[in-house]
Structure 1
Amino acid sequence: MALLKTLQVRPGQRVLHIGLHTGAWATLLAHRGATVTATTTDLARIGSVQDFVDHHELRVQVEAADARAGWPPGAPYDAIIALDDGVQEIPGRWTQQLRPGGLLLAHCELAPGAGNPATLVRGTAHELTGTFCSFPQTVTGTDRSGEPFPRTTDSASRRTTAVPPMPWRDDRIVWVLAHLLGMPAAVRTGLLVPPDRSVPTGVLSTPDGSWAEVADLPGPDGTWPVTESGPTRLWSLVEEAFTCWHDHGRPPWEHFQLSYAPGHQAVTLTGHRGLRWSRDSPESAWNTPET
């Protein structure tokens, strides 16, 4: 319901739903009076979903197409929905197929696994501006878990931290900020559970051999044991992000503004001491925050 409220779909509008799954969202949008085009690469589902919507006389057309291609024959659209997979850069074809003033609801990621759904409005040119949405969503297509990278042989440092151990799962705003502040995009996250299932441990690792472990059991003083090593102090970046978030009043998702234009992306944290980061492509690093 939060998704439908965000879209504010009105009768007669044209909507492109990228990613079909069960066809439930396309059906709900059609019930709101929209004319819906749904695309999918799952050819086995097209026939059954199309038969269902035809039987119920819903204005839904299902097409086989790659997600990044959109569906030009139905353009321009009043709204485009793309929540199946996270995108670090909005495909230009989506923007071209959205009418000026049209709404894009997409899972926007600053790095794989670091993002949330966002609502973006197309301007008169091919630029998009908007904010992250308050409702969370997990996108499995960009999960950064897996086998940890090989570790550096350098000696590890041990200390305690006031930051909870798994921000990629529990404090995702902090995780987004960590990437804006320099967390390597290739970081892998994980959870180690001992054979005796005693104290699980959150794990970070990167290709340069850096790693960090934080036990998911606070001590009497409310801090967690952390161990890290390697040229990139991964948990220190998480702590920096947590401090940034706290110092700016623990802002919610809606305080993070996004903008996309061909060859440029930016994130602005609004507030009494706003910050702004930008970069020219998903492969480049976010710049030092500007105040």
Structure 2
Amino acid sequence: MSTPVELRAALADRLTKDGTLTEHAWESAVRAVPRELFVGTYFTPLAGSVPTSYRPVRKGEPGWLEGIYDDLTLVTQLDGRTGPEDTAGETATGVPSSSSTLPSVVLRMWQQLDAEAGHRVLEIGTGTGYSTALGAHRLGDGNITSIEYDPVIGAAAAAAIKAAEFSPRLIIGDGLRGDPGGGQYDRLIATCSVRYIPLSWLHQVKPGGRILVTLSGWSYANALALLDVTAPGEATGRFLADPTSFMIARPHDRPPRPTLDLLPGEERPTLIDPTTLDSWTGGWVAQLAAPGAIRMGAGGQQILWDLATGSQARTALGPDNGWTVTQRGPVALWDQVERAVQSWQTAGEPHQDHFGITVSATGQRVWLGAEDGPSWNLPI
């Protein structure tokens, strides 16, 4: 059986070999920070279960330590309240609400942030504290401030960080409001996703500083953005090629949805293939076009439902093996999605790194190709 030191070294070697780790200082952090202090217990999904069931993996049981040093995301909480230690039976069901993100993603993002010695960094979403400890090792305790929304998760992270002998500044609160004490930061990194860039971040990161955050929405499509703050309250940036997803910040999450009744509406042939929405970028473009809607279904049978207006759109197989769409309500959801997807297809269906974002006092806008290209407003 391998020791934690050996497992950390093996993880560092794997991430260096596959190109994830490109800076020696971050490789040293992986070899030094004991992930097992931050993930005492965790859930693993049971393959093929519908809805997904999770098995608690408890400290000391066979495979526990090896699982911690796999390059995997480890779910640590379900439904905002249930941890592995709270599970009396063999399995539990629920929606993941906290996790320890796979190390390769955490380390790739820290390197993309381009934080250097002396930079002050604000981290949104302490989670288990593993990412926070990596940052503290690389940049120093005094340069890291981390904010966690959930007090139970935050307390556990604080204990683990202390046990690992780090002492960054830790805050329990709403990270979307930034540092409650104010202050100016050189970098901001978010380990949750948001529907739009909170204005507080744009005033707490210095002009010339950077923000790295995943943009998501109520259809849970994701895109990783790196923004340069150009002035207080203003920024511009590009989306990165890496397919990165995080749980959406709880204040930005969609409201509870009632039971969906599929009601009659106006039917017509679709102008796009509904299966286009199943691709990573295609689904994200659809979300940009209809930000107030949730998307359900898959393949040719897509369902869009706007919770605020009750508007619906659903696709189905039509005559001659084509596809039809049925829409009802004040918002023509599929019309909006069609226009956005067609603009993307005209550009050659580029990946997300061909998109950019501009944030100003007048709003937040995602654009394709260049700032004067097709664009969509974020729902601020």
Q: What is the alpha-carbon distance in structure 1 between the residues aligned to residue 130 and residue 322 of structure 2?
A: 42
Distance 1:180 1:46, change over 3 A: closer
Query: What is the TM-score of this pair, normalised by structure 1?
Result: 0.74
State which of 195, 198, 219 in structure 2 corresponds to 1:91: 198
Secondary structure of 2:345 counterpart: helix
**Is 1:47 matched with 2:155?**
yes
Name 2:26's counterpart in structure 1.
Answer: none
Q: Which residue of 2 aligns with 1:5?
A: 111
Tell me the secondary structure at the aligned position of residue 227 of structure 2. strand
Aligned ranges for residues 14-163 of structure 1 at < 5 Å?
14-34=120-140, 35-73=143-181, 75-88=183-196, 90-109=197-216, 113-135=220-242, 136-140=244-248, 141=250, 142=253, 146-147=257-258, 149-154=260-265, 156-157=267-268, 159=269, 163=273
Percent identical pairs in the alignment equals 23
Cα distance in 2 for residues equivalent to 1:30 and 1:156: 57
> Partner of 2:160: helix, strand, or coil?
helix
* Partner SS, residue 32 of structure 1: helix
Work out whether 1:253 is the aligned partner of 2:342: no
Q: Distance in 2 between matches of 1:178 and 1:49?
A: 36
What per-residue deviation string (whole Å, max 9, x for no partner) do you get for residues 42-100 of structure 1?
22233332233233332422111212221154721111122314132x22221221122
Q: Which stretch shifts more, 204-213 or 31-40?
A: 204-213
For 1:143 and 1:133, how far apart are their aligned partners in 2? 25
Report the TM-score when normalising by structure 2: 0.59
- Which amino acid is the alignment partner of residue 116 of structure 1? A
1:204 lines up with 2:304 in the alignment: yes
Q: Would the alpha carbon gap of residues 28 and 224 (structure 1) be closer, same or farther in structure 2, given more than 3 Å must change?
A: farther
Distance 1:116-1:227 versus aligned 2 partners, 3 A rule: same
Cα distance in 2 between the residues matched to 1:52 and 1:227: 52
Residue 213 of structure 1 is matched in structure 2 by 315
Query: What is the aligned partner in structure 2 of residue 244 from structure 1?
Result: 343
Q: CA deviation at 1:226?
A: 3.9
Amino acid at match of 2:183: A
1:224 and 1:131, CA in 2 relative to 1: closer, same or farther beyond 3 A? farther
1:178 and 1:48 map into 2 onto residues whose CA distance is 38
Within 2, Cα distance between the matches of 1:240 and 1:246?
A: 10
1:122 is displaced (CA, Å) by 0.9
Q: Which runs of 5+ in 2 are unaligned?
A: 1-106
Q: CA 1:144–1:73 in 2, change beyond 3 Å: closer, same or farther?
A: closer
CA 1:53–1:114 in 2, change beyond 3 Å: closer, same or farther? closer
**CA deviation map 1:111-152 (0-9, x unaligned):** 764542211111144311111222221435536895565444
Q: 2:379 aligns with which of 266, 275, 282?
A: 282
Asked whether the equivalents of residues 163 and 242 of structure 1 are also in contact (C-alpha less than 8 Å), the reply is no
The answer for unaligned runs of 5 or more in structure 1 is 193-198, 284-291
Q: How many Å apart are 1:24 and its aligned residue?
A: 1.5
The alignment covers a number of residue pairs equal to: 265
- Secondary structure of the 1:123 match is strand
- 3-state DSSP class of the match of 2:365? strand
Q: Quick check: 1:121–1:128 contact (8 Å CA) kept in 2?
A: yes
CA RMSD of aligned residues (A): 3.5
* Counterparts of 1:244 and 1:210, CA distance in 2: 22
2:237 and 2:217 map into 1 onto residues whose CA distance is: 14
Q: Look up the equivalent residue of 2:151 and give its one-letter code.
A: L
